[in-house]
């Protein structure tokens, strides 16, 4: 089944764009030598770095905003893979936590299924002195039918007015499915949902309202 790739898109978006982005600059290529899809890019954010870091570090809240409208294509039709929930699990083998993404496959029996879970472990999270994180490294945890490997690195830079998040992901599909999963399919199913999650973040921040300005030009804080 092809479920995990849209889920990978969701994870990239959740970690790469925790603010109201005006434009996402992303490029996906297929590395023939290693048989992996490589997506790299950056997004500029009109939000102070401390605010961005705090939102990015609030792993438990990702499920509150990320799935709004995520299961509909641009045409309005439903995706086959229906993402139902994102839950953060603290602890784990490395002690940094993991994300469980719950999903259904919306096909008739015996091809469809419900209550599926795929887990992504946080390999590294660099925390700032004032709270939040400015670097995340996430990998696929456990065996998966479709994915042989998933690896994502994100880093944020900025100041008290704006921020930039740079991201790079490597996705290796199982050899059998790799033959049929084209670059165009990857872009339509993965990149589309990345943009949608960014829109969801903008909506989420609009609902929260702007952070109060600090006195005498200080850093704005949530």
- The string of DSSP codes covering the chain is --THHHHHHHHHHHHH--S-EEEEEEEEEEETTTTEEEEEEEEEESS-HHHHHHHHH-GGGHHHHTTTTTTB-TTSPBPSEEEEEEEEE---SSSS-EEEEEEEE-S-TTT-EEEEEEEEEEEEEEE-TTSSEEEEEEEEES--SSEEEEEEEEEEEE-SS-EEEEEEEEEEE-HHHHTT--HHHHIIIIIHHHHHHHHHHHHHHHHH-PPPPPGGG-----
> Domains of the chain: which residue ranges?
4-205
Which of 18-22, 122-126, 209-213 has the highest mean predicted lDDT (pLDDT)?
A: 122-126
Fold entry, domain 4-205: Alpha-D-Glucose-1,6-Bisphosphate; Chain A, domain 4 (3.30.530)
Reported as a single tens digit per residue, the pLDDT across 66-103 is 889 989 887 888 888 899 999 999 987 667 899 998 99
- 2 pLDDT above the threshold of 70: no
């Amino acid at each position: 089944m092809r479920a995990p790739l849209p889920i990978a898109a969701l994870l990239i978006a959740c970690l790469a764009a925790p603010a109201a982005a005006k434009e996402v600059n992303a490029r996906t290529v297929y590395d023939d030598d290693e048989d992996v899809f490589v997506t790299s890019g950056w997004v500029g954010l009109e939000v102070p770095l401390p605010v961005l870091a705090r939102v990015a570090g609030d792993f438990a809240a990702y499920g509150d905003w990320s799935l709004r409208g995520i299961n509909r294509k641009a045409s309005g039709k439903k995706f086959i893979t229906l993402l139902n929930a994102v839950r953060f699990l603290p602890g784990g083998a490395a002690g940094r936590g993991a994300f469980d993404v719950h999903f259904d496959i919306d096909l008739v029996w015996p091809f469809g299924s419900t209550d599926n879970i795929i887990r992504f472990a946080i390999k590294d999270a660099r925390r700032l002195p004032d709270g939040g994180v400015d670097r995340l490294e996430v990998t696929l945890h456990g065996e998966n039918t479709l994915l042989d490997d998933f690896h994502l690195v994100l880093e944020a830079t900025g100041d008290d007015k704006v921020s930039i998040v740079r991201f790079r992901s490597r996705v290796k599909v199982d050899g059998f499915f790799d033959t049929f999963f084209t670059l165009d399919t990857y872009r339509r199913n993965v990149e589309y949902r990345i943009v949608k999650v960014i829109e969801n973040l903008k909506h989420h921040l609009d609902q929260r309202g702007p952070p109060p300005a600090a006195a005498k030009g200080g850093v704005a804080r949530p």
